[in-house]
Amino acid sequence: MTASPSSLPIARPEPPPAYRWAVLVFLSLAMFGNYYPYDAVAPVADLLAQQLGFRDEQIGMLYSVYSIAAVLVLLAGGYLIDRYGTRHSIVLFALVCLAAAILTALSADIRVMLAGRFLLGVGAEPLIVAVTTALAKWFKGKELSFAFGVNLTIARLGSVAADNSPTWARPLYSDWQGPLVLAAGMAVMCVAGAVAYWLVENRASRQHRLGEQEATEKLVLRDLYQFDRAYWYIVGLCVVFYSAIFPFRAFAIKYFMEAHGETREFAGFLNSVLPLSAMVATPLFGLLTDRIGRRAVLMMFGSVLLLPAFVVMGYTNVSLFVPIAMLGVSFSLIPAVMWPSVAYIVQERRLGSAYALMTLCQQLGVAAVPWMIGRTNDAFGAGPDTPAGYNGMIWILTSLASVGLLFSFLLWRTERGPQAHGLETITTRGTGAP
């Protein structure tokens, strides 16, 4: 028997463009409210030391525990996102971020603050994964890269806003708690964006046909033995690069004030140059790489810029704009080339494991180094009366940059030999490494 036309299911149309751009706006708002609380500690680091007696080791731990939580969440493999979908997961993780920001601002007890920062890592890192998954569901083809770029730009504005909060929220900086309460207020924006996204998708799912949610990337342990040395060189560069940049940003404002005599407002502005430069230059470097190839050379060039920047900052009287500009170029160039390069080296069926492992190793490095720098600052008596006490921090960062240059050189040498993967060409070999 043939079904009548009236009995056939009616195919629902795809949502109109307005829905997609509303989703992009709300998810970007959630990411802004996610990034801001993470970077809100750096502008008050000196106040935590002066008013609460925190040591630099404790300030470093406020960043380290975040990354420890992120490692644990990464090992969980995105179970909640796959199980409950992006709509519910994003709201849940945003609420966790808000609770974490409130807990961090609630008490002067270091244990309470550490619990808040750990909770922030539990919520913020899976939120980033869930937002990325949601964007991939709503945007396809050429729109996807643009949507990712807009989302990341607005997210990094959260870091820029936090760094510059001593200027636009100056009255709050009479004590340590006001700026952290402000950070909790910004986390409300994270929840508002998440709830708005939930409402839009909930309505769209009843009226329109939505894209399928892709499975989140997971770490498959048996794949660890399948990656070749070029992949591990990139992982090594990733670890030492982010282990230098992010911990430096954690202490930079305090360092600029106490070792260089800068105002809190100007120190915050200098720190914000890194995310600002990345917002503008990272997409441009990506376009350049697509046109010329030379990925290993570009990663090595970024590493060469990173190496002397900290020494210039610590041991010369050159304007701070010079080393900050060097760091800004490196911070924009290396990620623009490094992350896409993995797809040239690893087979597509193993990309999920490759990226999950790379991110896991990155977080392990970022977890260890802030605590190490803080302990070193304390050991050398770093402070406004002993600016030379920060030299230990400078040498830790310089050593990491040196190792990064070594990894990038080894990668470049590999890509010049018979085992090359096509990083130096415009097009990939296509198969990845076995």
pLDDT digits (tens, 9 = 90+) for 82-115: 777 788 889 999 999 999 999 999 999 999 999 9
CATH class of 220-434: mainly alpha
Which tens digit of pLDDT belongs to each residue from 21-74? 899 999 999 999 999 999 999 999 999 999 999 999 999 999 999 999 998 887
Which tens digit of pLDDT belongs to each residue from 257-282? 999 999 999 999 999 999 999 888 88
What pLDDT sits at residue 431?
38
Which tens digit of pLDDT belongs to each residue from 396-407? 999 999 999 999
What pLDDT sits at residue 138?
81
Which tens digit of pLDDT belongs to each residue from 317-331? 999 999 999 999 999
Q: ∠ at Cα 124 (118, 127), nearest 5°?
A: 145
Which residue, among 241, 366, 225, has the nearest Cα to 302 in the 3D structure?
241
Query: pLDDT category, 193, cuts 50, 70, 90?
Result: very high
- Residue intervals of the chain classified under CATH 1.20.1250.20 are 16-207, 220-434
Q: ∠ at Cα 371 (232, 122), nearest 5°?
A: 75
The token pair at 95 is 């609420």
Beta-bridge mates of residue 433: 346
Compute the residue count for the chain: 434
What average pLDDT does the structure give for the chain?
87
What gap in Å lies between CA 182 and CA 213, rounded to an integer?
34
Q: Are 396 and 255 in contact (CB under 8 A)?
A: no
- Which homologous superfamily does the CATH classification assign to the domain defined by 16-207? MFS general substrate transporter like domains (1.20.1250.20)
Encode burial over 58-92: b for 16+ CB neighbours within 10 A, e otherwise. bbbbbbbbbbbbbbebbeebbebbbeebbbebbbb
Give yes or no for residue 140 having a pLDDT over 90: no
SS (H, E, C) 322-368: HHHHHHHHHHHHHHHHHHHHHHHHECHHHHHHHHHHHHHHHHHHHHH
> Which residue's structure tokens are 């001593």?
166
Residue 174: CB atoms within 10 A of its CB come to 11
